[in-house]
């Protein structure tokens, strides 16, 4: 509900077109759809520019199918993250155009053509094991209307691999740097490019990695400026943030 609507409402009250009680009730009625177990936030598209994204983990298959149904009915494109194959199969039965990316564990369902931004986002990884998180970021950015340049396996243990790709990375408007282990990629990239870097720690590693904590702390303490961090393995969050920046 936009500011103009409220203004109109007040004018309608003034002109006796609607009753005060009715106006009160309208002001209370907010633009989300209540499924009981979930309240699908249609207003979000107005408020934040993108429709709500379905975080599938911890939801039942039935819930996901219902939420997707509601969004499809409103004509939105749909992105489901952390989805299992089983969830996808149930969605696909009702919406055959749905697509599943096994690596990224995403369900995407595109009804409206996606207009692409002129500038692009670079998504880079330290190792090959970081690719699933990177793909989640890339697919998120793409469905939100961004071109994505993928540069994978360029970690600092063989830093010449990174340098050979610097041109591509530097041409991007925003960089998403995905790395596990010690997460040094974030700092090295941050020191080399003059664009905002979204660092994504991954839980790749073992021992004193503590499920991504090492990479997370490393990235938060980056000695390079121009870097901000999202949650461990949060490819979606990085892709979303990068898209927001790329579209400014």
Q: Which of 5, 11, 85, 86 binds a second copy (CB under 8 A)?
A: 11
71 binds a second copy (CB under 8 A): no
For a second copy, which is the closer residue by CB, 47 or 85?
A: 47
Cα separation of 12 and 146, whole Å? 41
Locate 113 and state its tokens.
Answer: 């053509």
Cα separation of 66 and 56, whole Å? 12
Q: Which of 2, 39, 85, 94 binds a second copy (CB under 8 A)?
A: 39
92 binds a second copy (CB under 8 A): no
Half-sphere exposure of residue 243, counting CA atoms within 13 Å on the CB side? 24
Which part of the chain contacts a second copy (CB under 8 A), choosing from 68-76, 87-95, 106-114, 202-210? Answer: 202-210
212 binds a second copy (CB under 8 A): yes
194 binds a second copy (CB under 8 A): yes
Cα separation of 156 and 222, whole Å? 14
What part of residues 226-245 is at the interface with a second copy (CB under 8 A)?
A: 226-234, 236-238, 240-241, 244-245
**SS (HEC) of 95-122:** CCCCEEECCCCEEEECCCCCCCCCCEEE
DSSP class of 31: S
Widest CA span of the chain, in angstroms? 73
75 binds a second copy (CB under 8 A): no
Least Å distance, CB 16 to a second copy, is: 7
Which part of the chain contacts a second copy (CB under 8 A), choosing from 58-66, 70-78, 90-98, 104-112? Answer: 58-66
What part of residues 102-161 is at the interface with a second copy (CB under 8 A)?
A: 126-129, 131, 152-161
What part of residues 17-36 is at the interface with a second copy (CB under 8 A)?
A: 20, 23-24, 28-32, 36
Cα separation of 109 and 69, whole Å? 11
């Amino acid at each position: 509900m936009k500011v103009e609507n409220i203004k109109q409402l007040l004018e309608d009250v003034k002109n006796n077109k609607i009753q005060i009680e009715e106006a009160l009730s309208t002001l209370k009625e907010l633009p989300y759809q209540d499924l009981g177990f979930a309240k699908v936030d249609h207003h979000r598209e107005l408020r934040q520019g993108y429709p709500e994204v379905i975080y599938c983990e911890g939801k039942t298959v039935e819930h996901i199918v219902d939420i997707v149904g509601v969004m499809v009915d409103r004509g939105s494109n749909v992105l489901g993250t952390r989805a299992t194959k089983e969830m996808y199969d149930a969605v696909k039965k009702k919406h055959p155009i749905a697509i599943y990316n096994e690596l990224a564990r995403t369900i995407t369902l595109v009804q409206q053509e996606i207009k692409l931004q002129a500038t692009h986002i670079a998504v880079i990884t330290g190792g090959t094991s970081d690719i699933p998180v990177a793909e989640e970021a890339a697919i998120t950015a793409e469905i939100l209307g961004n071109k994505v340049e993928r540069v994978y396996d360029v970690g600092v243990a063989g830093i010449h691999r990174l340098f050979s790709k610097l041109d591509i990375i530097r041409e991007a408007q925003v960089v998403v740097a995905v790395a596990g282990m010690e997460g040094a990629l974030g700092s090295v990239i941050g020191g080399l490019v003059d664009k905002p870097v979204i660092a994504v720690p991954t839980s790749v590693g073992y021992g004193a990695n503590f499920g991504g904590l090492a990479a997370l702390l490393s990235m938060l303490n980056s000695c390079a400026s121009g870097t901000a961090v999202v949650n461990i393995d949060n490819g979606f969050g990085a892709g979303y943030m990068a898209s927001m920046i790329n579209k400014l």
